[in-house]
Structure 1
């Protein structure tokens, strides 16, 4: 986690990795370089999880925005000035990013410190927990460009807020405040701007000290429930419980409960 990036800030402390989207002059909008660097940073996080040095991840933005989505000036035109292939951009960059965030076997927290628009909103909502500052907002800006919610937005939105609200957000492209997002269940919580980083830091450290394997299987089982039928989901729960029942963390959790003390989980 020590490598330097041009479009990201990366830190590791107390088993918490923090990745900061760092193009504040462009509201942290995505470029091909940022995508490439983020893939490398997430690979480092995965490697750190395997070593046991990373047990939680925070994703946030520098300056006054979380992420404004795609930097439209960075998109390449096709041959002879033909329109850009937006599908290629999804396939090469945004789809792998969402799947990589979902596949991380540790808790992922989005600390939304300002506007999260377009793909930026979708990336935040693809994280496991979303904490937003009170001045933050979420905008499904795709309709204003004649596009559809991408980066998983069309899948995530109706599952979080229901089809009626998802349709309104997608078609109207109106700004949704952090407070309203919390009331609707789109995000976990909204806090005062000055409290965002301390609250997220405390939560991330709490999760990093917890039963990491159990957290990983919990997030996997909840995401899988969106498409599994009950019988399949019950089988998945059985398989995960069998695996976790053999873990060091389960033995430690039982011992701590019996001995009436705080558990000392190792994430194994």
Structure 2
């Protein structure tokens, strides 16, 4: 069986590569657990200076694997999805993302917690929570209105409209848009390796200061969203929408 999450170490860089191409890198409970463990390991390892999260050159992730998700839906915050969320939220090392192709649902919202994000111009970011009978997650209901303003955030979170990589960079969701997935990954890798030569404690303190003002509010919002998300999963709207999604695919 192919490993669905590949861990690659290059000097001080740990790369977490989503590797489920036959399912467009859709995330399973096992993958969330592996991601959480890898982030915790990187955070504790003094030899690791940065973490890079990526998919393939043409697909970041299609979001949750709906079938896997519904087989054992999260009933509370004690589950692999939230374990991953908190591990990324609490990671003291710089986290860099390289994005090409689809970045759906949590594939977009996880980017809001990365420090540097490099995308291909034709990447497609989407948060189709409402269309699936669900609600925003991973702090997106707090971060996106603050970052984009209410009107643009409503386009993404209420209407579920897509966003190109080029738009994501223009709107401040991504650091830079590049011509291809290969170029985005190369740039992300080069930038991530730069942290190896920077003073580690100064980097850690600087990230801590940047995150501190919103930290407690963001954690509370993530928990509230998570509780509401688990309730929505059992709603008639979500059951119908998710069943329809599975039948179409």
Tell me the TM-score normalised to structure 2 length. 0.79
1:62 aligns with 2:56: yes
CA distance in 2, matches of 1:87, 1:168: 29
How many pairs does the alignment contain? Answer: 216
CA distance in 2, matches of 1:115, 1:17: 23
- 2:173 aligned counterpart, secondary structure: coil
Q: Residues 228 and 173 (structure 1 numbering): CA distance in 2 closer, same or farther, change over 3 Å?
A: closer
Contact 2:30 2:80 survives alignment (8 Å): no
Instruction: Please give the root-mean-square deviation of Cα atoms over the aligned residues, in Å.
Output: 2.2
Per the TM alignment, residue 85 of structure 1 is displaced from its structure 2 partner at its CA by: 4.5
CA distance in 1, matches of 2:75, 2:114: 23
Partner of 1:98: 85
Per the TM alignment, residue 216 of structure 1 is displaced from its structure 2 partner at its CA by: 1.6
CA distance in 2, matches of 1:227, 1:104: 12
5+ residue gaps, structure 1 = 78-83, 230-268
Per the TM alignment, residue 199 of structure 1 is displaced from its structure 2 partner at its CA by: 1.0
TM alignment of 1:193-208, pairs within 5 A = 193=180, 194-208=182-196
Task: Give CA-to-partner distance per residue, 1:196-230, whole Å, 9 cap, x none.
Answer: 1221111011122212222222222222223689x
Partner of 1:21: 18
- 1:150 aligned counterpart, secondary structure: coil
Tell me the TM-score normalised to structure 1 length. 0.74
5+ residue gaps, structure 2 = 218-249
The structure that has the greater radius of gyration is 1
Per the TM alignment, residue 87 of structure 1 is displaced from its structure 2 partner at its CA by: 4.4
Contact 2:19 2:25 survives alignment (8 Å): yes
Partner of 1:31: 28
Structure 1 runs (4+) greater than 4 angstroms displaced = 84-87
Does 1 or 2 have the higher relative contact order (CA < 8 Å, sep 6+)? 2
CA distance in 1, matches of 2:15, 2:139: 23
CA distance in 2, matches of 1:5, 1:26: 12
1:184 aligns with 2:181: no
CA distance in 2, matches of 1:105, 1:5: 30
Per the TM alignment, residue 142 of structure 1 is displaced from its structure 2 partner at its CA by: 0.6
CA distance in 2, matches of 1:166, 1:198: 30
1:209 aligns with 2:197: yes
Per the TM alignment, residue 165 of structure 1 is displaced from its structure 2 partner at its CA by: 1.2
Partner of 1:244: none
Contact 1:117 1:140 survives alignment (8 Å): yes
Per the TM alignment, residue 20 of structure 1 is displaced from its structure 2 partner at its CA by: 0.3
- 2:89 aligned counterpart, secondary structure: helix
Task: Give CA-to-partner distance per residue, 1:159-188, whole Å, 9 cap, x none.
Answer: 322222112211111110011111111111
